[in-house]
Amino acid sequence: MRLVSLSLAFILLSGLLSAQEQLRSVADAATTRETKVVAHRGLILDAPENTIASFRACLELGFGFEFDVQRTKDGHLVCLHDQSVDRTTDAKGAIAQLNRYQTVGFDAGSWFSPRFKGQIIPGIDDVFQLIASYPKSKAIFAVDIKLDDKQVEADLVKLANQYKILHRLLFIGNTIHDPGVRKRLLAVDANVNLTHVAHDSKELIESISNPNTNWVYVRYLPSTAEVRKIHAAGKRVFIAGKTVSGLERDHWQTCIDMGVDAILTDYSIELGRQLRQ
């Protein structure tokens, strides 16, 4: 755990961002450079994952973020990575066996640091409302669908349209490998941003040619020629996995130089700084 402090965004990163001028410069870089920072579950090294405090800090810094979708027993969509609340709250139990009114009483921040006491498991509507409150942000927000639930796609798209943010979302998770999920998303709204996964150069051919996606989800370090092929096909490049999730400065720079559109990483602060150099 790295040292953090609270601010109007709940957290600004003292020691990492010691002055407001530094904060603005990182934010400017993150929103004006072509390669976008997507923070894995928010600022996962500096704040409790999948919380509004973490997501708000991302937005203040000009970063997008990735978040996970689960459903409660009474049907509410919530932001949680695991199938249970055990690891990231002060409670126990499977999220699918808990009602929403129960989960709002769980502390989702203190496990990370006492300064985050009172953070709760946010509803997906809370996350969408937060994104909508930053209308000038050019960041990318990656929706990781964890559920094997044939209704979740329609619920997410309708809710995103309610907040007028569908065009700012990129659907990942089950979307990257399950054509049924992509089909159900497209059936609700043809304007959804969808991905197809490529673990290597061979799979990339299929990802580029897939007619139902406008992004390629790359889980290896592609070549410059491959990135150009993706762009030539009218698609964008989202890179994730071990080549970029850690403190991989050389890999990040390769991605930036090639024109990769978005990088998903745990080290979003460091990537943001590298983008402004």
Is pLDDT at 16 greater than 90 in this prediction?
no
* Domains of the chain and CATH, by start: 20-275 (3.20.20.190)
Q: Which residues are registered as beta bridge partners of 142?
A: 66, 170
Indicate which residues carry an active-site annotation: 40, 81
H-helix segments, the chain: 20-32, 52-61, 100-103, 124-132, 152-162, 179-188, 201-209, 224-232, 242-245, 249-258, 268-275
36-40 and 195-198 strand pairing: unpaired
The 10 Å Cβ neighbour count of residue 133 is 11
- Residue 63 has a pLDDT of 98
pLDDT tens digits for range 33-90: 489 999 999 999 999 999 999 999 999 999 999 999 999 999 999 999 999 999 999 9
- Residue 82 has a pLDDT of 98
Report yes or no: 5 and 12 within 8 Å, Cβ to Cβ: yes
Contacts (Cβ under 8 Å, ≥6 apart) of 92? 84, 85, 86
Is pLDDT at 274 greater than 60 in this prediction?
yes
The H-or-E segment that residue 68 falls in is: strand 64-71
Report yes or no: 244 and 265 within 8 Å, Cβ to Cβ: yes
Q: How confident is the model at residue 177 (pLDDT cuts 50, 70, 90)?
A: very high
- Residue 34 has a pLDDT of 85
Q: 86, 78, 73: which is closest to 52 by C-alpha?
A: 78
Report yes or no: 56 and 27 within 8 Å, Cβ to Cβ: no
Q: Which residue has the higher pLDDT, 205 or 9?
A: 205
pLDDT tens digits for range 242-252: 999 999 999 99
Question: Using N-to-C axis directions, what is the helix angle for 20-32 and 268-275, rounded to 10°?
Answer: 80
Q: 218, 274, 268, 231: which is closest to 250 by C-alpha?
A: 274
